Structure 1
Amino acid sequence: MKRFRFTLLAICLVLLFLGWNDISLFLRNRAPETIAVTALEQNGAPREWLHVTGGTLDLLEAISTSGSIELEALLIPLKSDPQAGDFRVLVETREPGLIKLFRTYHFKLDSEEAQERYLDEHRSEFFPRQDVSGTLVTGLIATGNRDKLMTLAKDVGMQVTDDVIFIAEGKEPARIRGFIFFALALAGLVKFAAMGKRNSPPQGEA
């Protein structure tokens, strides 16, 4: 019984931690912060939920997160200058149109000449100037995912610095999950305290 109580306590503490992280993230990010990509490159992210304006996606330098034709998502540099070789912002996107272009260019064309023709025909789609909304891939909970993305980018030869800003496009801070975790943790702690009282010897016993 004592082992179960301390297992329950450990679970409650984890839920408290997860709940507080979600709640604090939500309280800091009631709405996305609008920021120009130039300011983001120079000063970093002011908050976790962003609406980035004035950037150009470079699909030609994108990489697949799956590494196969069964594409799940792409990592695409977001640049203030489309001609720049370096970048500071990477966008993880699942936009079907961009994935279709990437798949066709890399997996369905059988020669460099065919790729060049396809690129010429769709150049504006390979370098779309568009705003991006999403949340940063950062913080204690997302550290593992960020590390995987960083390792993937370096493994395929992408020139990415350690301070690169990862944005998960379309993702928003959880609005309810943190409060649910917190409520479950408090209920578990009440149960933990009640079990302790029940197992305590009556006063006056030797």
Structure 2
Amino acid sequence: MNRFRVTLIAVCLVLAWLAHKDISLYLRNPQPLTISIGELETLEKAPREWLAVSGGYPDFLQGINMTGSMEFEAFLVPLTSSADGTNYKVWFETRDPQILEALSTYYFLLDTRAQQQQFIEDNAHLFSGQRHVTGMTAAELVANSNQKKLITMLEQMGANVTGTPIFISEDKEPAVWRGALFALVAFAGMLKLTWDVRTRPQTPRI
């Protein structure tokens, strides 16, 4: 019985910590912070975890397939302040099905450079122009580990990286409801523990 209580306390503490993490993240980011790509490129790190980056030009052809295989669910793309920019300070991870399908076709289904060039021209609405990117940065404990892996991967692939890159996961938002659920479960667990202690039969004294 004591082992069960210790386990329950440990689980409740972990859930409470996760709840605090999610809820405090949301309190710091009730809305995405709007910032221009030009301003973001000058910063050492992102000013907040939830950003809405305006004025950026994605360079999809300089992007990186995160899996290295023909089937991929995400693509890491540099975002610059001009159409021909090479300051690859800001990167965003996109899971846009339309973009992923176009990139898959470009890299794996077209045999010649001429075919690829024609495909780019036919799909200029996807490959050119500005893109407003809203998402979460790699600023949390677990995400920091992923960020280091991404930096190492970019260096190994010889990507043109300026300073410490900023990574944004497009369309990701603070998980406030997940935090609330963790908090409720942790609270319920502590209530059960308190109830069990109060209603525990007293051992009669001899």
1:55 match: secondary structure: strand
Worse-matched range after superposition: 133-142 or 159-168: 159-168
Unpaired runs of at least 5, structure 1 = none
Q: Structure 1: how far apart are the matches of 2:158 and 2:203?
A: 68
Q: Which runs of 4+ in 1 moved over 6 A?
A: none
Shift of 1:32: 1.3
Worse-matched range after superposition: 42-51 or 120-129: 120-129
The residue correspondences of 1:130-169 to structure 2 (distance < 5 A) are 130-160=131-161, 163-169=164-170
2:98 is the alignment partner of 1:97: yes
Give the paired residue count: 205
1:179 corresponding residue in structure 2: 180
The residue correspondences of 1:54-203 to structure 2 (distance < 5 A) are 54-122=55-123, 125-160=126-161, 163-197=164-198
Cα distance change on mapping 1:111 and 1:133 into 2, 3 Å: same
Q: Structure 2: how far apart are the matches of 1:150 and 1:200?
A: 58
Percent identical residues = 40
Q: Structure 1: how far apart are the matches of 2:158 and 2:128?
A: 20
Residue deviations 1:14-33, cap 9 Å, x none?
10111001111111111111
On the 8 A contact 2:87/2:162 being kept in 1, the answer is no
Residue deviations 1:145-176, cap 9 Å, x none?
43444444344332346721111111111231
Please, what TM-score do these two structures have when normalized by structure 1?
0.85
2:12 corresponding residue in structure 1: 12
Q: Structure 2: how far apart are the matches of 1:158 and 1:6?
A: 49
On the 8 A contact 2:53/2:133 being kept in 1, the answer is yes
Q: Structure 2: how far apart are the matches of 1:61 and 1:181?
A: 40
Matched letter for residue 25 of structure 1 = L
Matched letter for residue 126 of structure 1 = F
CA RMSD in angstroms, aligned pairs only: 2.6
Matched letter for residue 174 of structure 2 = P
Q: Structure 2: how far apart are the matches of 1:141 and 1:32?
A: 21
